[in-house]
Amino acid sequence: MEDSNYWTRLSGRRVSRRALLGGTGTLALGGAAAMVVGCGSSGGNGGLGSGETPKPVPSEPTIGGTVTQGRLLAALGIDPHIDLTGLDIDLHLYPYLYGWKPGAEEAVFNNLAESLEIPSPTEFIFKLNPGFINSETGGGKPNPAAGEEITSTDVKQSFVRRGTSITAPDKRFPRKIAGSSDPGALESALITPDPYTFQFTMADPFVPAVRDMANPTWGIVSAKVLDEYLYLSQDAFGAGPFQLEEFRGNERIVVSRNPNYAQKGRPRMDGKTWIVITEPSSLYSAFRQGQHDINGSVLYRDDYDELSGESDFRVFQTPSLFYPVVHLKMKSPFDDVRVREALNLSINRDEIIAVIWRGEGEYNGPIQWPQQKWALPQDEIREFYRYDPERAKELLADAGYEGGFTSRLKLPKVTGATFIADTAVLLKEQWSRVGINIEIDEVELGSYISSTLLPGNFEMTFFPNLPYDEPDRPLSFYHSLGVTGSGNWTNYTNPELDKLINAQSEEFDQEKRQQIIYEAERMILKEHGPQLTLTGGIQYSARWHYVHLPYEIGQDPPDDVGPIGTDDWTEKV
């Protein structure tokens, strides 16, 4: 029987591209994904809305033209190793080693890497494709590496920068490579025997490693650019399919075709523009009026049903991997498990689904519900997270808080993403029913990440985690070392749970790994923290009929698709 685990399939083999320059290969972070502060998706099945009558598609894609896409959230920056709010833009501007099919759990070599050889579970040897030439400009400024080829040295320096960045979302993988938290150790561990070979050997096995390197935070930037610029938040000097023309993150971002791009005939379009409108109804109105070709506003079922009945639009749906949670600092009163259980029991998750997700959604456990291979069964999660405010009051009294208590809930202030504040207000109201008084403190997003979340400067915080399709990342929030590998934001520690999380990250047999993950999740449930997991809903996308994307949200891409944006096309040329 064929082994379904991608690690086992890859170990000891050379994994090759599929005629990269001829136009095959796939990328699972694809054309319709909205990777903006958690508004992304993977998994599930997209499809035409019921009742939609799509217009005929021309037999051959047209070349040229531009499209405009609405954007609800401002992009604070477009530095792939530092900024997290512009990752969807970064994917257009920089090359990456390879893409990923989350459904099939396969690395796809349609980008910078020609092949990957894994002689053992800790050894990685990449062969790079020649011909990835840096663009001439980046936002109107000359590219310091203009006309120069991306080589293994650039890959190495990008890995060092990404692995040591203070805002990197996960440093555990780089530290597995380095064998320590010393930045110098990481640089020494990355080997470049020639311009087209990049390799390293990890100190310990790490199952999520192959998936991790397809993450949009691993953009490859020229070493010469990194030497000249400390930050790239407002500029982009890359060798990806597009080059930056204009970046005003609160208003508009404009990219144009990179004439030096390695894959001939790609990208198909001349360029793309994102228009930022942080008022949801205005953003949706601009799409309906034809000012935007691709919708950027949050859609709900009634919007989907309305658009599905009109042949001018193409609409799709899939489970959202948006993963909202409340983090608790492990000090009084939250270091008492009775208080944490009382908080859980007084959350009415069905009410959250009804109010926030318009009646469409499921409960999240330690791993979000669309990750069906790894998440606990929905009936088990719903049975555990029952709503019982009377029992919550009893537990608070037993813990010495009969009259309740007051705490401050910090959350990021993200103009346009009203569901964040709306959820916090609903939680405040639900907890007030059992005597818990919550003071809501909104913090500007940039300051929230650097001054609240990363240093753990909170009592409680509501944080909309980025979407994950690999189970290790959500589990790492419960590990004593946290997602950074240097300490948990919440000061939570559980040595027995640490052992399980470590064990699953080193277990290559998928069935055994699944059982370890289930055991870890059930242990986490009994702890009622340090995260209180909430609910997730359904994600919808829409665009005008003349815009064609090679695959939809929730779908694994076909085998003839290049990196993100390269195969998008429009009939309006």
CATH number, domain of 347, equals: 3.10.105.10
Q: Which residue has the higher pLDDT, 61 or 560?
A: 61
Of 22-31, 291-300, 340-349, 510-519, the poorest mean pLDDT is in 22-31
The answer on 429 and 528 residing in a single domain is: yes
- Provide the pLDDT for residue 570: 97
How far apart (Å, rounded) are the C-alpha atoms in residues 236 and 243? Answer: 7
The number of angstroms, rounded, from the C-alpha of 125 to the middle of its chain's C-alpha atoms is 26
pLDDT tens digit sequence for 425-450: 999 999 999 999 999 999 998 899 88
- Provide the pLDDT for residue 554: 77
Among 414, 412, 416, 415, residue whose Cα is nearest residue 283: 416
The H or E element containing residue 160 is helix 152-164
Residue 475 lies in a domain: yes
- Provide the pLDDT for residue 209: 95
- pLDDT-derived band of residue 26, with 50, 70 and 90 as boundaries? very low
530 pLDDT higher than 50: yes
Residue with tokens 């409340």: 326
Calculate the CA dihedral of residues 294, 296, 302, 305 and round it to 10 degrees.
20
- Provide the pLDDT for residue 104: 83
Q: Which domain holds residue 514?
A: 323-536
**Mean pLDDT throughout 110-125?**
96
How far apart (Å, rounded) are the C-alpha atoms in residues 108 and 74? Answer: 31
How far apart (Å, rounded) are the C-alpha atoms in residues 474 and 130? Answer: 36
Residue type, 50: S
463 pLDDT higher than 60: yes
How far apart (Å, rounded) are the C-alpha atoms in residues 238 and 559? Answer: 25
The answer on 482 and 372 residing in a single domain is: yes
Per-range mean pLDDT, top range of 452-466, 518-532, 556-570: 518-532
**β-sheet bridge partners, residue 252:** 248, 275
Q: Which residue has the higher pLDDT, 94 or 473?
A: 94
Q: Where are the beta strands (DSSP E) in 351-447?
A: 362-363, 405-413, 436-444
Calculate ∠ Cα 136-142-146, nearest 5°: 40
- Which of 244, 263, 278 is the endpoint of a domain? 278
- Provide the pLDDT for residue 509: 94
How far apart (Å, rounded) are the C-alpha atoms in residues 178 and 33? Answer: 32
The answer on 345 and 260 residing in a single domain is: no
Are the C-beta atoms of 440 and 425 separated by less than 8 Å?
Answer: yes
3-class secondary-structure state, position 167: coil
Residue 87 tokens read as 């990752």
Residue 290 lies in a domain: no
Per this entry, what is the length of the chain?
Answer: 573
- pLDDT-derived band of residue 187, with 50, 70 and 90 as boundaries? very high
How far apart (Å, rounded) are the C-alpha atoms in residues 447 and 121? Answer: 39
- Provide the pLDDT for residue 54: 57
The answer on 331 and 207 residing in a single domain is: no
Are the C-beta atoms of 326 and 534 separated by less than 8 Å?
Answer: yes
**Mean pLDDT throughout 180-201?**
94
- Main-chain dihedrals φ then ψ at residue 181, nearest 5 degrees: -95, 5
The answer on 528 and 458 residing in a single domain is: yes
Residue with tokens 């050889």: 117
The answer on 229 and 98 residing in a single domain is: yes
**Mean pLDDT throughout 537-562?**
89
- pLDDT-derived band of residue 28, with 50, 70 and 90 as boundaries? very low
The answer on 237 and 365 residing in a single domain is: no
pTM beyond 0.85: yes
Calculate ∠ Cα 541-542-544, nearest 5°: 160
Residue 410 lies in a domain: yes
How far apart (Å, rounded) are the C-alpha atoms in residues 175 and 304? Answer: 44
- Provide the pLDDT for residue 271: 98
How far apart (Å, rounded) are the C-alpha atoms in residues 550 and 30? Answer: 8
38 pLDDT higher than 50: no
The answer on 384 and 259 residing in a single domain is: no
- Provide the pLDDT for residue 468: 76
Residue 223 tokens read as 């070493």
3-class secondary-structure state, position 53: coil
pLDDT tens digit sequence for 401-427: 999 999 999 999 988 778 889 999 999
Are the C-beta atoms of 317 and 329 separated by less than 8 Å?
Answer: no
How far apart (Å, rounded) are the C-alpha atoms in residues 113 and 96? Answer: 8
- Main-chain dihedrals φ then ψ at residue 81, nearest 5 degrees: -90, -10
Are the C-beta atoms of 570 and 62 separated by less than 8 Å?
Answer: yes
Tell me how many helices (H) and strands (E) the chain has.
18, 24
The answer on 268 and 337 residing in a single domain is: no
Calculate ∠ Cα 252-257-258, nearest 5°: 115
- pLDDT-derived band of residue 5, with 50, 70 and 90 as boundaries? very low
Domains in the chain, number: 2
Residue 368 tokens read as 């979000």
The answer on 395 and 254 residing in a single domain is: no
The number of angstroms, rounded, from the C-alpha of 212 to the middle of its chain's C-alpha atoms is 11
- Main-chain dihedrals φ then ψ at residue 105, nearest 5 degrees: 55, 55
- pLDDT-derived band of residue 17, with 50, 70 and 90 as boundaries? very low
Q: Which residue has the higher pLDDT, 105 or 569?
A: 569
36 pLDDT higher than 50: no
**β-sheet bridge partners, residue 124:** 200
Percent of the chain beyond pLDDT 90? 72
Residue 61 lies in a domain: no
- Provide the pLDDT for residue 399: 98
Per-range mean pLDDT, top range of 227-231, 242-246, 367-371: 242-246
Among 445, 532, 431, residue whose Cα is nearest residue 84: 445
Residue 506 tokens read as 């080193």
CATH number at residue 184: 3.40.190.10
Query: How high is the mean pLDDT of the chain?
Result: 88
Residue 494 lies in a domain: yes
The answer on 228 and 340 residing in a single domain is: no
Residue with tokens 């009259």: 403
Residue 347 lies in a domain: yes
- pLDDT-derived band of residue 16, with 50, 70 and 90 as boundaries? very low
The answer on 366 and 448 residing in a single domain is: yes
Q: Where are the beta strands (DSSP E) in 421-507?
A: 436-444, 460-465
What does the H/E/C string look like for 213-282? CCCCCCCCCCHHHHHHCCCCCCCCCCCCCEEEEEEECCCEEEEEECCCCCCCCCCCCCEEEEEECCCHHH
Distance between start and end Cα atoms, the chain: 49
Residue 522 lies in a domain: yes
Residue 309 lies in a domain: no
**Mean pLDDT throughout 292-315?**
94
- Provide the pLDDT for residue 55: 67
**Within 10 Å of residue 123's Cβ, how many Cβ atoms?**
14
- pLDDT-derived band of residue 495, with 50, 70 and 90 as boundaries? very high
